[in-house]
Amino acid sequence: MHPIEIDAILKLAKTHLRSGKIPEAERMYVRVLKEQPTCAEALHFLGLVAMRRGKLDKALELVRRSIEIDPSRADYHNNLATVLGRMNAAVEALGASQRAIDLRDDFAEAWSNKGVALEKLGRLDEAVEAYRHAVAVREDYAEALANLGNGLSRMGQHDEACARLRRVAELRPRDAGARKNLGNALRRAGKPTEAVTAYRMATELNPRDADAYNNLGAALQEAGKVAEAETALRSALSINPNHMDAHWNLGLALLALGRWREGWVEYEWRRHLREDLGQKRGFPQPAWQGSPLEGMHVLVLCEQGLGDSIQFIRYVPFLAARGAKVTVECQGKLKPLLSSLNAEGEKGGGGEGEMRSGEVRVIARGEPLPSFDMHARLMTLPCIFGSTPEDVPSQVPYLSVDEKRVEEFAEQFAKPVSPSPSLPLSPSRALHVGLVWQGNTAHKGDRFRSIPLSMFEPV
């Protein structure tokens, strides 16, 4: 075959590849390689055909062979990075994309691939800088803009993140994914109403996207439109009945609407969420599901945050009242407080000796577990008891504070402070106000609920 004819076939094959005519392109590359087995271009693009077919091992082999023959092509190294990225070989993908950049510094796709590899390696700051390079080279590069916006959003740089993702939506007005990304960034920025608009557009562009309906439901809840949230979440579940986040969010919506018995059932889907992995325990004993408890020893496991344990510990006396021996395993910081639980039976703080029916003991997480017959997660108890707003345990106080701690604080606040000159207080009428300003800083929504203590200084 004449070289001119080979060049013509290669050009036509590339045209077919770009237009999605994969079988035609593949036949032409195979034809060229029969005549010229060391044709780097045919080897390389046949590798890209293999990648599009999902044959990543074959793609890797062919692309690497093409680079051995012609290592000077920046696009070959960049495509190698793409193949390696799809194989989750992030370290090698980073090296390949960097070699492409070394050969051609203004290679926007290579900078973007470098950013993807860095992000997979957990180096988000460096990834964002790589995406910036890609966008600097090609300002309307939608994929790099999307990666940049998503990265900035996760870093908390919300204004720029939203601006970048709005630009992506402008460049790709029919792309439902671009609207979802924008909605996610707006939610992180604390703008749920704007996020609702973005998610609604995503559902209109792709009415079969369960994720978009789930995100819409979550944003509607944050915007205070809980009834509308329920509708969106049920739409998500009609598309994907096993959508874990949609079940979880539906549980929260139903609880907020006061429909607790439905809500608690959906709330149990938390067990399937990634955030719940740290709560899973492999006990040979069965989980308690409402069976008789007389004389049985139940291990109750606190979960999620400290506030959740303080709120839901009120259900433990129900177990004791049914004749169970109860051991509560809680977060270490809470052991002194939860040990004061006002159960109907006897209570104890983790002392030694044989337990009696109706007794409640509290141990800290990490302490040796006693022998027990069944276990239950603390926040599952309302579901098993069928708790509703009308019969929620409301005996207060159900916890008490160590008197010595009370005395220590009383000494610190012994000197009364008048709130204003016009409202003097005598020592016996001193007004003491406690402020709770900070939650767990590791909580993903902490910025929406915690307040810097410095903001209270003027008060």
> What does pTM read for this prediction?
0.84
The pLDDT, as a whole number, for residue 452 is 87
> Over 60: is that where the pLDDT of 161 sits?
yes
The mean pLDDT of the chain is 91
Contact 430, 411 (CB under 8 A): no
The pLDDT, as a whole number, for residue 2 is 58
In total, the chain counts a number of residues equal to 459
**Which of 29-38, 116-125, 272-281, 348-357 is predicted most confidently?**
116-125
Q: Token pair 């599952």 is at which residue?
A: 380
The pLDDT, as a whole number, for residue 420 is 56
Confidence band for 267, pLDDT divided at 50, 70 and 90: very high
Give long-range contacts, CB 8 A cutoff, 24+ apart: 78-83.
78/107, 78/109, 78/110, 78/113, 79/44, 79/47, 79/48, 81/110, 81/113, 81/114, 81/117, 82/51, 82/113, 83/47, 83/51, 83/56, 83/59
Contact 340, 328 (CB under 8 A): no
Distance of CA 270 to the CA centre of its chain: 12
Confidence band for 12, pLDDT divided at 50, 70 and 90: confident
* Element housing 327 (H / E): strand 325-330
Model confidence over 186-232: pLDDT tens digits?
999 999 999 999 999 999 999 999 999 999 999 999 999 999 999 99
The pLDDT, as a whole number, for residue 345 is 44
Per DSSP, the residues of 341-373 read ---SS-EESS-SS---TT-EEEEETTSPPPP-S
Strand 297-301 and strand 374-377: pairing? parallel
Model confidence over 344-375: pLDDT tens digits?
444 555 555 688 889 999 999 999 999 999 99
Taking the C-alpha atoms of residue 60 and residue 109, their distance in angstroms, rounded to an integer, is 18
The radius of gyration of the chain from alpha carbons, rounded to an integer in Å, stands at 31
Please compute the mean of the pLDDT values over residues 156-184 and round it to a whole number: 98
Tokens for 362?
Answer: 């509290």
Please compute the mean of the pLDDT values over residues 28-42 and round it to a whole number: 84
Tokens for 76?
Answer: 């070959």
Model confidence over 288-344: pLDDT tens digits?
999 999 999 999 999 999 999 999 999 999 999 999 999 999 999 999 999 999 754
* Element housing 328 (H / E): strand 325-330
Q: Token pair 């740089």 is at which residue?
A: 157
Tokens for 147?
Answer: 């990666």
Taking the C-alpha atoms of residue 228 and residue 250, their distance in angstroms, rounded to an integer, is 11
Residues 6+ away with beta carbon under 8 Å from 302: 308, 309, 313, 328, 329, 330, 331, 334, 338, 365, 378
Taking the C-alpha atoms of residue 369 and residue 329, their distance in angstroms, rounded to an integer, is 8
Give long-range contacts, CB 8 A cutoff, 24+ apart: 79-86.
79/44, 79/47, 79/48, 81/110, 81/113, 81/114, 81/117, 82/51, 82/113, 83/47, 83/51, 83/56, 83/59, 84/60, 85/113, 85/116, 85/117, 85/120, 86/51, 86/56
Q: Single out the residue of 352, 355, 350, 353 nearest to residue 334, CA to CA.
A: 350
Model confidence over 56-104: pLDDT tens digits?
999 999 999 999 999 999 999 999 999 999 999 999 999 999 999 999 9
Taking the C-alpha atoms of residue 413 and residue 405, their distance in angstroms, rounded to an integer, is 12
Contact 384, 289 (CB under 8 A): yes
